[in-house]
Chains A and B, each alone.
Chain A
Amino acid sequence: GAGVSQSPSNKVTEKGKDVELRCDPISGHTALYWYRQSLGQGLEFLIYFQGNSAPDKSGLPSDRFSAERTGGSVSTLTIQRTQQEDSAVYLCASSLVRLDEQFFGPGTRLTVL
């Protein structure tokens, strides 16, 4: 079956531009997570969606970052006015229920010039 997919796989943008990153979770998974991973660093939690509940946004580093999840499935992470320090791999994960194993997508490698 299909796993978690993300698009684009690579994104190069100029400082100050907005970017949108997309995540398609595994069908039927109610929980969706966004993380980012900088070179040599562990994964940093960004945001979590569970069903129709209000998302846990406690990991978003600034108000330039936002995410939505439409119809309980696809999610979009938006970064406004990108900065060079936003360069990282952005990983999406989904799980069947809240405490279940998380399955990761291949990530989007974002480079801000």
Chain B
Amino acid sequence: RKEVEQDPGPFNVPEGATVAFNCTYSNSASQSFFWYRQDCRKEPKLLMSVYSSGNEDGRFTAQLNRASQYISLLIRDSKLSDSATYLCVARGEYGNKLVFGAGTILRVKS
């Protein structure tokens, strides 16, 4: 079983739609979590950190459920520019390395 698992998608949604991605992690000792965005043939870039209390940044909301070892990302009012691969990331127990999921592909269409 992979340490961080995501639905690969693709999620095809119209502009303006709300879409949610889920991610599960297997290492209960993981300390912190992130969502990175990766555009085609580009490097990953941090989208947002995920806090236990949940956090929101504009149209993006991230949630963490430690009991179920589950992370989510909600995107409201999808834009064409949101089309990308979204990587769920867990920081390991000792903080040295990030464990990446394989990513979820989002395609927003007009």
Measured CB to CB, the residues of A under 8 A from B are 33, 35, 40-45, 48, 50, 56, 58-59, 91, 98-99, 101-102, 104-107
B45 touches A56 (CB 8 A): no
Interface size on B, residues (CB 8 A): 20
Determine if B21 is an interface residue (Cβ-Cβ < 8 Å). Answer: no
- C-alpha spacing A44/B96, complex, angstroms: 13
- C-alpha spacing A90/B34, complex, angstroms: 21
Main secondary structure of the interface of A (DSSP, over half): loop
Determine if B13 is an interface residue (Cβ-Cβ < 8 Å). Answer: no
**Chain B: which residue is nearest A6 at the CB level?**
B43
A91 touches B43 (CB 8 A): yes
B102 touches A102 (CB 8 A): no
- C-alpha spacing A43/B89, complex, angstroms: 10
- C-alpha spacing A44/B98, complex, angstroms: 9
Determine if B87 is an interface residue (Cβ-Cβ < 8 Å). Answer: yes
Given contacts A40-B102, A42-B4, contact A56 B96 (CB under 8 A): yes
Measured CB to CB, the residues of B under 8 A from A are 2, 4, 8, 32, 42-46, 87, 91, 95-103
B100 touches A43 (CB 8 A): yes
Min CB distance, B95 to chain A, in Å?
5
**Which of B43, B96, B103 is within 8 Å of A104, CB to CB?**
B43
Min CB distance, B27 to chain A, in Å?
13
B99 touches A45 (CB 8 A): yes
Contacts of B99 in A (CB 8 A): 42, 45
B100 touches A106 (CB 8 A): no
